[in-house]
Amino acid sequence: MNTVLYAILSYATAYIQSPWGSGQFRPAVVIPALFATVFGPMPGGIGAALGTLIADSVKHGQLYPGSFLAAVPANFIGFYLLGYIMKKKFSWERFILASQATLTIANLILAFLYVFLFKILYLGEAKYVGMPLHVQIFFSVGLTIWWYVTMLPFVLLVTPILIRAASSAFPTVVSEEIRRNSLRQELPEKSFSLAMLVPGVIMLIIGLATSYTDLGLMTRSFFGELTSGLIQLMFYSSGVALSFLGVLFYTRKILAPHRKPVE
């Protein structure tokens, strides 16, 4: 189920690329995040690895080596790690921290494998081979940021809903610890707000750096005006969106004690 659902939903957004010209928009990560949390590391990791391989291969009309070399190991490691952490003990605080850590690690692995192993070593594409090392690293970090900021809101906002729904609808399938804690624990709004707000502020700072420092000159010189403009837009828009969500959750936390109970 993890493999099939992840493959179908990943393919649905497979043609929405990042401003870098590579890297897909993939809100479907909520599926392996759900299975890794509820069923453990192996179902989460294997389902994510096979699902991304199927989606990428269908998109390219062949067994896609880029997926096999980069996306498969990164997806397996990321969601195996998420499942391993959540298997120890379930709580929403733990889920927030584990999601942030595993998204960072998995996307960093994916980006560097994609650029250095697939594009440079396997394909030997002139566009990537001709870049100086610091630009290759900057490009890899940029892909990591794109995946992270586009995946994080979905994982933190949608996956808890799915976990609670699964706990309520399939009580004999979901473990008693997850069922008890997910249904009884309130979502920690302060932690949710910081999980959104901190990356949002960082994105805004990077956006300002691309506009007013040599970082912007570097992106324009190697990626062109159009791509550089899209990259700046990505940083600003993601920063504003994440910051807004963070402030929204924090505001709810402040206002909650003042709300009148329903009679």
Judge whether 81 and 102 are in contact, CB under 8 Å. Answer: yes
Let me know whether 138 and 245 are in one domain: no
pLDDT at 166 over 80: yes
Let me know whether 29 and 59 are in one domain: yes
pLDDT band at 258 (very low <50, low <70, confident <90, very high): very low
φ/ψ of residue 173, rounded to 5: -95, -40
pLDDT at 171 over 70: yes
Q: How far is CA 59 from the centre of its chain?
A: 20
pLDDT digits (tens, 9 = 90+) for 182-241: 877 777 888 888 888 999 999 899 889 888 888 888 888 877 888 888 888 888 998 899
Let me know whether 177 and 197 are in one domain: no
Distance separating alpha carbons of residues 259 and 208, to the nearest angstrom: 38
pLDDT digits (tens, 9 = 90+) for 33-75: 999 999 999 999 999 999 999 999 999 999 999 999 999 999 9
pLDDT band at 255 (very low <50, low <70, confident <90, very high): low
| Other C-beta atoms lying within 10 Å of the C-beta of residue 43 | 19
Q: For residue 6, how many C-alpha atoms fall within 13 Å in the half-sphere facing its CB? A: 28
- The answer to which of 65-69, 112-116, 173-177, 189-193 has the lowest mean pLDDT is 189-193
Question: How confident is the model over 92-117, as a mean pLDDT?
Answer: 95
Which of 168, 186, 204 is the C-terminal boundary of a domain?
186
Let me know whether 182 and 103 are in one domain: yes
The residue segments making up the domain with residue 85 are 2-186
pLDDT band at 259 (very low <50, low <70, confident <90, very high): very low
Let me know whether 154 and 196 are in one domain: no
pLDDT at 254 over 60: no
Q: Which residues pair with 17 in a beta bridge?
A: 24
Which of 167, 186, 205 is the C-terminal boundary of a domain?
186
Let me know whether 11 and 132 are in one domain: yes
pTM for this entry = 0.88
Structure tokens at 262: 């329903």
Judge whether 34 and 182 are in contact, CB under 8 Å. Answer: no
Let me know whether 137 and 208 are in one domain: no
Let me know whether 105 and 223 are in one domain: no
Which of 165, 186, 207 is the C-terminal boundary of a domain?
186
Distance separating alpha carbons of residues 123 and 14, to the nearest angstrom: 21
Let me know whether 115 and 217 are in one domain: no
Let me know whether 11 and 114 are in one domain: yes
User: Which residue, among 191, 186, 194, has the nearest Cα to 94 in the 3D structure?
Assistant: 191
Let me know whether 68 and 167 are in one domain: yes
